[in-house]
Copies of this chain bind each other. A is one copy, B any other.
Amino acid sequence: MPGRRKITLKDVAAAAGVSPTAVSRHVNGRIDLPAETAERIDSAIRRLNYRPNARARHLAMGSTRTLGFITTDIGYPFFAAIASAAEEEVAKSGFSLAVFNSRNHVDRELLFLSKIEDGQLDGALFMTNHVDDGTLRDAINHCGKVVVLDEDVPGAKAPRIFVDNEAGGLIATRHLIAQGHRRIAFVSGPEGMTSSCERFSGFRAALGEAGLVVDPDLVCFGVYEEASGSEAFQQLWRGPIHPTAILATADLLAIGILRATRAAKIKTPRELSVIGFDDMLHMDLLDPPLTAVRQSIHELGRRGARVLLDLLAGTADTDVIERVPVELILRGSVAPPKSAVGPARLVKLAAGGEPR
> Nearest chain B CB to A106's CB is how many angstroms away?
16
A37 at the interface (CB under 8 A from B): no
> Nearest chain B CB to A230's CB is how many angstroms away?
13
A281 at the interface (CB under 8 A from B): yes
Residues of B within 8 A of A53 (CB): 118-119
> Nearest chain B CB to A325's CB is how many angstroms away?
20
Residues of B within 8 A of A64 (CB): 54-55
Name the one of B80, B285, B289 contacting A75, with C-beta atoms under 8 angstroms. B80
> Nearest chain B CB to A312's CB is how many angstroms away?
15
Closest partner residue, chain B, to A259 (CB atom): B285
Known: A74-B74, A80-B77, A81-B75. A101 touches B87 (CB 8 A): yes
Residues of B within 8 A of A97 (CB): 98-100
Query: Judging by beta carbons under 8 Å apart, are B59 and A55 in contact?
Result: yes
Query: Judging by beta carbons under 8 Å apart, are B83 and A51 in contact?
Result: no
Closest partner residue, chain B, to A258 (CB atom): B285
Name the one of B75, B99, B101 contacting A98, with C-beta atoms under 8 angstroms. B99
Query: Judging by beta carbons under 8 Å apart, are A51 and B285 in contact?
Result: no
Name the one of B52, B117, B285 contacting A287, with C-beta atoms under 8 angstroms. B285
A286 at the interface (CB under 8 A from B): yes
Residues of B within 8 A of A58 (CB): 55, 58-59
Query: Judging by beta carbons under 8 Å apart, are A84 and B74 in contact?
Result: yes
Residues of B within 8 A of A24 (CB): none
Return 5 A-B CB contacts under 8 Å, by A number. A54-B115, A55-B55, A55-B64, A75-B83, A97-B100
A120 at the interface (CB under 8 A from B): yes
Bound Cα distance A282, B115 (Å): 34
Query: Judging by beta carbons under 8 Å apart, are A91 and B101 in contact?
Result: yes
Query: Judging by beta carbons under 8 Å apart, are A255 and B118 in contact?
Result: no
Residues of B within 8 A of A74 (CB): 74, 80, 83-84, 87, 99
In chain A between 148 and 202, which residues have their CB closer than 8 angstroms to a CB of chain B? none
A66 at the interface (CB under 8 A from B): yes
Residues of B within 8 A of A56 (CB): 59, 119
Query: Judging by beta carbons under 8 Å apart, are B88 and A101 in contact?
Result: yes
A85 at the interface (CB under 8 A from B): yes
A288 at the interface (CB under 8 A from B): yes
A296 at the interface (CB under 8 A from B): no
Name the one of B81, B120, B281, B282 contacting A55, with C-beta atoms under 8 angstroms. B120
Name the one of B59, B80, B83 contacting A59, with C-beta atoms under 8 angstroms. B59
A279-301 CB contact bits vs B (8 Å, 1 = yes)? 00110011111000000000000
In chain A between 45 and 82, which residues have their CB closer than 8 angstroms to a CB of chain B? 51-56, 58-59, 62, 64, 66, 73-77, 79-81
A114 at the interface (CB under 8 A from B): yes
> Nearest chain B CB to A69's CB is how many angstroms away?
8
A96 at the interface (CB under 8 A from B): yes
Q: Beyond the given A74-B87, A77-B281, could you list 15 further A-B residue pairs with CB under 8 A, ordered by the A residue number?
A: A52-B118, A54-B115, A55-B55, A55-B58, A66-B98, A75-B81, A76-B281, A77-B80, A83-B99, A91-B100, A97-B98, A98-B98, A255-B282, A285-B286, A285-B287
Residues of B within 8 A of A100 (CB): 87, 91, 96-97
Query: Judging by beta carbons under 8 Å apart, are B54 and A119 in contact?
Result: yes
> Nearest chain B CB to A161's CB is how many angstroms away?
18
A299-311 CB contact bits vs B (8 Å, 1 = yes)? 0000000000000
